[in-house]
Amino acid sequence: MKQKINFSGRAIKYTEDEIATVVEAMRTAEPLTQGRYMAEFERKFSQYQNVEEGSCFAVMNGCAALELAAQLCDFKPGDEIIIPSHTFTASAYPFIKHGATPVWADIDPLTRVVTAETIEKVITPRTRAVVPVHLYGYVADMPEIMELCAKNRLICIEDAAQAIGADINGKKAGSFGDMAIFSFHSHKNLTTLGEGGMLYVAEPETRKLVPMLRHNGHCPYGDDRPNYWTPAMGNVDLPMLNGRPLMPSNYSIGEVECALGAKMLDRIDEINAQKRGRAIRLIDALADFPELEFHRVPDSRHNYHLLAARMKGGQKLRDRFMARMHDEKGIKCVVQYLPLNRYDFYRKLGYGKADCPQADAFFDTMVSFPFQHWLGDDEFEYLIASIRQTLEELRQA
């Protein structure tokens, strides 16, 4: 059957206002990178997050933010970092690249994110840091996790790539940890034309290193120069952390993307509320089908970036469901987040072992529904009706 609903790689449709903002930035930005739009995006973002001004840094994507966070951890050989096995690969490999050994933590079977308990289980004397990932858009138990980190002197880096705008009692995802990262990738609830990211650094001294690390080690000269052109336009210096040099890169994001990001912050709460409203509507419409177990969170702790469910009948039923949805209804569901220890990449690096039975069990029976914000109302109702019909047919079969 012809495809009716794709699992789209694009999340949202831009408004005419947002398009006009992009065009305006195209016409007027000078320069086209590292200018006033970036400053504005960072300022508005820190306000939105209710964190100190100057603590948020726009970068080209979430992965670049993770690379920077990893560098700022200053790992020594043998240092371990606790990461959920059930997450996107970029939550993990930047830390390996910068010297840490990953140790996989399990998830809670209902919330599908790590908890203080699953983290505590894998703490060793070598543990230096923890990466709670607010997967699917649900904020992990950050107060408890921060308490555990304080007790064990661990650095906490929140991966809030999927969780912009979600909060716990008004405190935003990505404002609890020592550092946090956000993604504005094409698929995320807020996207800056396909790529974009943000790094949050709580500690003021550490924060000072970010502009240089982000931009080739560039930094201004002091003011006491004989001429503005000598010895050169700007200085290049070596960023030092705890007496050790850090290598910079260029992780900059363009001005047009920043202009759009700042503009979209005006609409992100509305987008999240609409997604959450739809998620609850779909979950409640399927309440008489216990075959599918959803995570129902009617408040702002979940932004429903993604809508995932566990097929309680097991993997065979899951696979028959996916096939029927695809072949008979033209709806593409997907299976996501293969536990990282099961990927060739991590196995070949020697990180193929994990004791994460809940992550494995969830992954092996999960379904992720197409849930892009720009689904039409008709498509959304067709999705609900198709899930109901398919589950009914599978009961008969």
Ligand X SMILES: *Cc1c(COP(=O)(O)O)cnc(C)c1O
Q: How far is the CB of 142 from ligand X (least distance, A)?
A: 15
Note whether 63 binds ligand X by CB under 6 A.
Answer: yes
For the chain, the first-to-last Cα distance in angstroms comes to 20
How far apart are the C-alpha atoms of 395 and 347, rounded to whole Å?
39
DSSP for residue 141? -
Cβ(302)–Cβ(137) under 8 Å? yes
How far apart are the C-alpha atoms of 89 and 60, rounded to whole Å?
17
Note whether 83 binds ligand X by CB under 6 A.
Answer: no
Note whether 161 binds ligand X by CB under 6 A.
Answer: yes
Candidates 324, 322, 332, 330; CA nearest to 365 is 322
The burial class, CB within 10 Å (0-12 / 13-18 / 19+), for 140 is: buried
Q: Binding ligand X by CB under 6 A: which of 127, 183, 303, 390?
A: 183
Residue closer to ligand X (CB basis): 75 or 95: 95
Q: Name the residue number minimizing CB distance to ligand X.
A: 62
Residue closer to ligand X (CB basis): 201 or 387: 201
Note whether 191 binds ligand X by CB under 6 A.
Answer: no
From 60-68, 227-235, 247-255, 322-330, give the range in contact with ligand X by CB under 6 A. 60-68
Cβ(96)–Cβ(75) under 8 Å? no
Note whether 88 binds ligand X by CB under 6 A.
Answer: yes
Note whether 197 binds ligand X by CB under 6 A.
Answer: yes
The burial class, CB within 10 Å (0-12 / 13-18 / 19+), for 224 is: exposed
Q: How far is the CB of 219 from ligand X (least distance, A)?
A: 26
Helices (H) and strands (E) in the chain, counts: 14, 16
Question: How many residues sit in the footprint of ligand X (CB under 6 A)?
Answer: 14
Q: What is the helix, strand, coil percentage profile of the chain, to 5?
A: 40, 15, 45
Q: How far is the CB of 183 from ligand X (least distance, A)?
A: 3
Residue 135, token pair as written in the block: 């997967």
Note whether 85 binds ligand X by CB under 6 A.
Answer: no
Residue closer to ligand X (CB basis): 62 or 239: 62
Residue closer to ligand X (CB basis): 185 or 324: 185
Cβ(340)–Cβ(93) under 8 Å? no
Q: Binding ligand X by CB under 6 A: which of 79, 159, 291, 360?
A: 159
Binding characters for ligand X, 99-138, by CB under 6 A (x = yes): ----------------------------------x-----
Residue 123, token pair as written in the block: 């703490």
From 86-94, 164-172, 282-290, 295-303, give the range in contact with ligand X by CB under 6 A. 86-94
Q: How far is the CB of 94 from ligand X (least distance, A)?
A: 9
Kindly list the residues in this chain that would bind ligand X in the complex (CB under 6 A): 61-63, 87-88, 90-91, 133, 159, 161-162, 183, 185, 197
